[in-house]
Amino acid sequence: MSRRIAALGLGTVAVIAAATLSQGAQAAPGAGALTNLDTSAGNRRAAVSGLYDWSKAGYRGGMNLPGSGDVNSNQTCQITPDELSSQYNVKPNDGADDSAGLQSAIDAIKSSCSNSASYTKLSLITLPAGELVVTREIHVDADYLIIRGAGMTATKVVYRPDANTLYDTLTEDKSDWDEDGMTHGSGKGGWLWPGRGLFRVQSRGVHSSYFSDYNSAPANRKDIFEGTVNVHWKAGVKLRAKAGDTGFSARTGDRVVHLASSGSISALTVGSLVNIRAANSQKFYQHQ
Protein backbone atom coordinates (compact mmCIF):
# COMPACT_ATOMS: atom_id res chain seq x y z
CA MET A 1 0.00 0.00 0.00
CA SER A 2 1.30 3.46 -0.84
CA ARG A 3 1.56 5.67 2.23
CA ARG A 4 1.26 9.35 1.56
CA ILE A 5 0.53 12.23 3.89
CA ALA A 6 -1.96 14.76 2.53
CA ALA A 7 -0.91 18.36 2.13
CA LEU A 8 -2.19 20.93 4.60
CA GLY A 9 -5.44 22.61 3.61
CA LEU A 10 -6.02 26.38 3.56
CA GLY A 11 -7.30 27.72 6.85
CA THR A 12 -6.25 24.60 8.72
CA VAL A 13 -3.23 24.03 10.93
CA ALA A 14 -2.37 20.38 11.41
CA VAL A 15 1.05 20.11 13.00
CA ILE A 16 2.18 16.58 13.81
CA ALA A 17 5.01 17.67 16.05
CA ALA A 18 7.65 15.58 17.76
CA ALA A 19 5.99 12.26 17.04
CA THR A 20 7.53 9.26 15.31
CA LEU A 21 5.24 7.76 12.66
CA SER A 22 6.48 4.21 12.37
CA GLN A 23 5.60 0.81 10.96
CA GLY A 24 8.40 -1.08 12.63
CA ALA A 25 10.84 -0.84 15.48
CA GLN A 26 11.57 2.58 16.93
CA ALA A 27 14.64 4.15 15.35
CA ALA A 28 16.93 6.77 16.87
CA PRO A 29 18.21 9.67 14.74
CA GLY A 30 21.10 8.57 12.54
CA ALA A 31 24.68 9.70 12.92
CA GLY A 32 25.07 13.34 11.96
CA ALA A 33 21.35 14.06 12.15
CA LEU A 34 20.60 17.76 12.60
CA THR A 35 18.39 17.93 15.68
CA ASN A 36 18.77 21.61 16.64
CA LEU A 37 17.91 23.45 13.44
CA ASP A 38 16.82 27.07 13.79
CA THR A 39 13.61 27.19 11.76
CA SER A 40 12.52 30.61 13.00
CA ALA A 41 11.57 33.41 10.63
CA GLY A 42 14.57 35.39 11.88
CA ASN A 43 16.96 32.76 10.54
CA ARG A 44 15.75 33.01 6.93
CA ARG A 45 17.99 34.62 4.35
CA ALA A 46 16.74 37.27 1.98
CA ALA A 47 15.88 36.40 -1.60
CA VAL A 48 18.89 35.90 -3.90
CA SER A 49 18.82 37.75 -7.20
CA GLY A 50 18.34 35.40 -10.14
CA LEU A 51 17.02 32.53 -8.02
CA TYR A 52 13.45 31.63 -7.10
CA ASP A 53 12.40 33.32 -3.86
CA TRP A 54 11.78 30.65 -1.21
CA SER A 55 11.97 33.12 1.68
CA LYS A 56 8.21 32.89 2.22
CA ALA A 57 7.94 29.10 2.04
CA GLY A 58 6.60 27.15 5.00
CA TYR A 59 4.14 27.86 7.78
CA ARG A 60 2.19 31.08 7.14
CA GLY A 61 4.65 32.37 4.57
CA GLY A 62 7.78 31.79 6.64
CA MET A 63 6.52 32.84 10.07
CA ASN A 64 7.57 31.10 13.28
CA LEU A 65 5.87 27.83 14.14
CA PRO A 66 3.09 28.29 16.74
CA GLY A 67 4.09 28.47 20.38
CA SER A 68 2.23 28.07 23.67
CA GLY A 69 0.99 31.66 23.49
CA ASP A 70 -0.93 30.84 20.30
CA VAL A 71 -2.98 28.05 21.93
CA ASN A 72 -6.54 28.71 23.07
CA SER A 73 -6.62 28.99 26.87
CA ASN A 74 -10.08 27.39 26.95
CA GLN A 75 -9.47 23.90 28.33
CA THR A 76 -12.25 22.51 26.14
CA CYS A 77 -9.95 23.17 23.19
CA GLN A 78 -6.99 21.34 24.75
CA ILE A 79 -7.11 17.56 25.06
CA THR A 80 -4.37 16.10 27.26
CA PRO A 81 -2.98 12.55 27.27
CA ASP A 82 -4.97 11.82 30.45
CA GLU A 83 -8.17 13.02 28.77
CA LEU A 84 -7.41 10.95 25.68
CA SER A 85 -7.19 7.93 27.96
CA SER A 86 -10.20 8.59 30.21
CA GLN A 87 -12.61 10.12 27.67
CA TYR A 88 -11.56 8.58 24.35
CA ASN A 89 -9.95 5.29 25.39
CA VAL A 90 -6.68 6.19 23.63
CA LYS A 91 -4.14 4.37 25.78
CA PRO A 92 -0.51 3.77 24.82
CA ASN A 93 1.15 0.37 24.81
CA ASP A 94 -2.04 -1.66 25.21
CA GLY A 95 -2.02 -3.00 21.64
CA ALA A 96 -5.62 -1.89 21.09
CA ASP A 97 -6.80 0.07 18.05
CA ASP A 98 -6.77 3.79 18.87
CA SER A 99 -8.27 4.96 15.55
CA ALA A 100 -11.82 5.60 16.76
CA GLY A 101 -10.68 7.43 19.87
CA LEU A 102 -8.31 9.74 18.02
CA GLN A 103 -10.99 10.52 15.44
CA SER A 104 -13.52 11.26 18.18
CA ALA A 105 -11.09 13.65 19.86
CA ILE A 106 -10.57 15.55 16.60
CA ASP A 107 -14.33 15.60 15.99
CA ALA A 108 -14.90 17.05 19.47
CA ILE A 109 -12.43 19.87 18.77
CA LYS A 110 -14.10 20.52 15.42
CA SER A 111 -17.54 20.74 17.02
CA SER A 112 -16.59 22.86 20.02
CA CYS A 113 -13.66 25.00 18.92
CA SER A 114 -13.14 25.31 15.16
CA ASN A 115 -15.77 27.99 14.53
CA SER A 116 -14.06 30.47 16.86
CA ALA A 117 -10.45 29.38 16.26
CA SER A 118 -7.68 31.35 14.56
CA TYR A 119 -3.90 31.35 14.12
CA THR A 120 -3.60 32.92 17.56
CA LYS A 121 -6.34 30.77 19.10
CA LEU A 122 -5.27 27.26 18.19
CA SER A 123 -6.65 24.01 19.56
CA LEU A 124 -4.26 21.34 20.84
CA ILE A 125 -4.36 17.56 21.15
CA THR A 126 -1.33 16.15 22.97
CA LEU A 127 -0.56 12.50 22.32
CA PRO A 128 0.85 10.40 25.16
CA ALA A 129 4.31 8.87 25.31
CA GLY A 130 4.33 5.26 24.15
CA GLU A 131 2.93 3.35 21.20
CA LEU A 132 -0.47 4.06 19.65
CA VAL A 133 -2.02 1.81 17.01
CA VAL A 134 -3.98 3.20 14.05
CA THR A 135 -5.69 0.96 11.49
CA ARG A 136 -7.48 3.48 9.27
CA GLU A 137 -7.07 6.98 7.95
CA ILE A 138 -7.57 9.72 10.54
CA HIS A 139 -9.45 12.75 9.18
CA VAL A 140 -7.96 15.98 10.50
CA ASP A 141 -10.71 18.38 9.44
CA ALA A 142 -10.84 20.52 12.58
CA ASP A 143 -9.56 24.00 11.72
CA TYR A 144 -6.55 25.51 13.49
CA LEU A 145 -5.55 22.32 15.29
CA ILE A 146 -2.15 21.17 16.54
CA ILE A 147 -1.60 17.45 17.14
CA ARG A 148 1.57 17.11 19.20
CA GLY A 149 3.51 14.12 20.47
CA ALA A 150 5.49 13.79 23.69
CA GLY A 151 8.87 13.78 21.94
CA MET A 152 10.71 12.40 18.92
CA THR A 153 11.45 9.06 20.54
CA ALA A 154 8.61 9.16 23.08
CA THR A 155 5.44 9.00 20.96
CA LYS A 156 5.16 6.38 18.25
CA VAL A 157 2.13 5.95 16.01
CA VAL A 158 2.12 2.51 14.39
CA TYR A 159 0.02 2.32 11.22
CA ARG A 160 -1.52 -1.08 10.49
CA PRO A 161 -4.08 -0.48 7.71
CA ASP A 162 -7.18 -2.65 8.01
CA ALA A 163 -8.97 -4.40 5.14
CA ASN A 164 -11.04 -1.32 4.31
CA THR A 165 -7.96 0.91 4.15
CA LEU A 166 -5.61 -1.30 2.13
CA TYR A 167 -5.90 -0.83 -1.62
CA ASP A 168 -7.70 -3.85 -3.07
CA THR A 169 -6.94 -3.08 -6.73
CA LEU A 170 -3.35 -3.23 -7.97
CA THR A 171 -1.62 -2.59 -11.28
CA GLU A 172 -0.80 -5.59 -13.47
CA ASP A 173 2.76 -5.85 -12.14
CA LYS A 174 1.49 -5.43 -8.53
CA SER A 175 3.81 -2.45 -7.96
CA ASP A 176 1.14 0.18 -7.24
CA TRP A 177 -2.57 0.62 -6.66
CA ASP A 178 -4.80 0.74 -9.72
CA GLU A 179 -6.68 4.03 -9.46
CA ASP A 180 -8.88 3.35 -12.50
CA GLY A 181 -9.75 -0.14 -11.29
CA MET A 182 -10.92 1.14 -7.91
CA THR A 183 -14.48 2.22 -8.73
CA HIS A 184 -17.99 2.53 -7.39
CA GLY A 185 -20.87 4.18 -9.22
CA SER A 186 -19.56 7.32 -10.89
CA GLY A 187 -16.46 7.48 -8.70
CA LYS A 188 -12.97 6.09 -9.12
CA GLY A 189 -9.82 5.79 -7.06
CA GLY A 190 -8.12 8.77 -8.66
CA TRP A 191 -10.50 11.00 -6.71
CA LEU A 192 -8.56 9.99 -3.59
CA TRP A 193 -5.51 11.96 -4.77
CA PRO A 194 -2.82 11.75 -3.54
CA GLY A 195 -3.99 8.51 -1.93
CA ARG A 196 -4.86 7.16 1.50
CA GLY A 197 -2.56 7.92 4.39
CA LEU A 198 -2.31 8.05 8.15
CA PHE A 199 -3.56 11.63 8.61
CA ARG A 200 -5.69 13.31 5.92
CA VAL A 201 -6.33 17.05 6.07
CA GLN A 202 -9.50 17.78 4.12
CA SER A 203 -13.26 18.00 4.49
CA ARG A 204 -15.35 14.84 4.72
CA GLY A 205 -18.28 16.60 3.07
CA VAL A 206 -20.11 14.85 0.22
CA HIS A 207 -21.69 16.79 -2.64
CA SER A 208 -25.42 16.24 -3.10
CA SER A 209 -24.92 14.79 -6.59
CA TYR A 210 -22.91 11.94 -5.03
CA PHE A 211 -25.31 11.11 -2.19
CA SER A 212 -26.72 8.01 -3.89
CA ASP A 213 -23.32 6.57 -4.79
CA TYR A 214 -21.93 7.41 -1.35
CA ASN A 215 -24.81 5.78 0.52
CA SER A 216 -24.56 2.58 -1.52
CA ALA A 217 -20.76 2.39 -1.41
CA PRO A 218 -19.07 -0.27 0.75
CA ALA A 219 -16.79 0.90 3.55
CA ASN A 220 -13.67 0.72 1.36
CA ARG A 221 -15.15 3.02 -1.30
CA LYS A 222 -16.97 5.75 0.65
CA ASP A 223 -13.90 7.99 0.90
CA ILE A 224 -13.84 8.26 -2.92
CA PHE A 225 -16.75 10.69 -2.67
CA GLU A 226 -15.57 12.73 0.30
CA GLY A 227 -13.93 16.13 0.31
CA THR A 228 -11.62 16.71 -2.61
CA VAL A 229 -14.06 15.97 -5.43
CA ASN A 230 -16.32 18.73 -4.13
CA VAL A 231 -13.51 21.29 -4.23
CA HIS A 232 -12.11 20.41 -7.63
CA TRP A 233 -15.17 20.52 -9.82
CA LYS A 234 -18.47 20.36 -7.97
CA ALA A 235 -18.01 23.56 -5.98
CA GLY A 236 -16.28 25.36 -8.83
CA VAL A 237 -17.49 28.16 -11.08
CA LYS A 238 -16.80 28.01 -14.82
CA LEU A 239 -14.96 30.90 -16.46
CA ARG A 240 -14.97 32.45 -19.94
CA ALA A 241 -12.31 34.12 -22.03
CA LYS A 242 -11.90 37.85 -21.65
CA ALA A 243 -12.45 40.06 -24.67
CA GLY A 244 -9.63 39.87 -27.19
CA ASP A 245 -7.73 37.12 -25.37
CA THR A 246 -9.08 33.74 -26.49
CA GLY A 247 -8.39 30.97 -24.01
CA PHE A 248 -7.62 33.22 -21.05
CA SER A 249 -10.09 34.50 -18.48
CA ALA A 250 -7.35 36.55 -16.84
CA ARG A 251 -3.59 36.93 -16.84
CA THR A 252 -1.03 37.80 -14.20
CA GLY A 253 -1.77 41.26 -12.86
CA ASP A 254 -5.42 41.36 -13.92
CA ARG A 255 -7.94 42.35 -11.28
CA VAL A 256 -11.00 40.86 -12.99
CA VAL A 257 -11.73 37.18 -13.65
CA HIS A 258 -14.52 36.67 -16.18
CA LEU A 259 -17.25 34.16 -15.32
CA ALA A 260 -19.07 32.06 -17.89
CA SER A 261 -22.69 33.01 -18.53
CA SER A 262 -23.71 30.00 -16.45
CA GLY A 263 -21.46 31.03 -13.58
CA SER A 264 -22.86 32.14 -10.25
CA ILE A 265 -21.07 33.87 -7.39
CA SER A 266 -23.74 32.96 -4.85
CA ALA A 267 -21.31 30.59 -3.10
CA LEU A 268 -18.60 33.25 -2.80
CA THR A 269 -18.36 35.75 0.04
CA VAL A 270 -16.52 39.05 0.26
CA GLY A 271 -13.15 38.63 1.94
CA SER A 272 -12.90 34.87 1.41
CA LEU A 273 -10.15 33.12 -0.55
CA VAL A 274 -10.71 31.96 -4.14
CA ASN A 275 -8.70 29.09 -5.61
CA ILE A 276 -8.27 29.56 -9.38
CA ARG A 277 -7.20 26.47 -11.32
CA ALA A 278 -6.51 25.56 -14.93
CA ALA A 279 -8.18 22.49 -16.45
CA ASN A 280 -5.74 19.74 -17.44
CA SER A 281 -7.75 18.60 -20.46
CA GLN A 282 -9.94 20.22 -23.11
CA LYS A 283 -13.01 18.32 -21.93
CA PHE A 284 -12.32 18.57 -18.21
CA TYR A 285 -15.91 19.17 -17.11
CA GLN A 286 -17.43 16.68 -19.55
CA HIS A 287 -15.28 13.94 -18.03
CA GLN A 288 -16.48 14.56 -14.46
Are 230 and 242 part of one and the same domain?
no
| Residue 97: how many other CB atoms lie within 10 Å | 17
40 falls within a domain: no
More confident residue, 122 or 263: 122
Q: Average of pLDDT values for 268-282? A: 73
Q: What is the pLDDT of residues 49-71, one digit of tens each?
A: 888 888 888 888 888 888 889 99
Identity at 178, one-letter amino acid code: D
Predicted confidence at residue 285, as pLDDT, reads: 58
How far apart CA 169 and CA 193 sit, in angstroms, is 15
Are 221 and 244 part of one and the same domain?
no
Are 207 and 220 part of one and the same domain?
yes
Average pLDDT, the chain: 83
Q: Quick check: 20 pLDDT over 70?
A: no
Are 224 and 244 part of one and the same domain?
no
Q: What is the pLDDT of residues 110-141, one digit of tens each?
A: 999 999 999 999 999 999 999 999 999 999 99
Q: Average of pLDDT values for 233-259? A: 84
276 falls within a domain: yes
217 falls within a domain: yes
Q: Quick check: 28 pLDDT over 90?
A: no
87 falls within a domain: no
Predicted confidence at residue 19, as pLDDT, reads: 41
Predicted confidence at residue 144, as pLDDT, reads: 95
Are 247 and 283 part of one and the same domain?
yes
210 falls within a domain: yes
Predicted confidence at residue 111, as pLDDT, reads: 97
pLDDT band at residue 10 using 50, 70 and 90 as cut-offs: very low
For the chain, give the percent of residues with pLDDT over 90: 48
pLDDT band at residue 32 using 50, 70 and 90 as cut-offs: low
Are 244 and 200 part of one and the same domain?
no
Contacts of 106 (CB under 8 A, 6+ apart): 125, 138, 139, 140, 141, 142, 145, 147
What residues make up the domain containing 249?
A: 237-288
79 falls within a domain: no
pLDDT band at residue 36 using 50, 70 and 90 as cut-offs: confident
Predicted confidence at residue 70, as pLDDT, reads: 95
126 falls within a domain: no
Are 219 and 206 part of one and the same domain?
yes
197 falls within a domain: yes
pTM: 0.76
Q: How many domains does the chain have?
A: 2
Predicted confidence at residue 17, as pLDDT, reads: 41
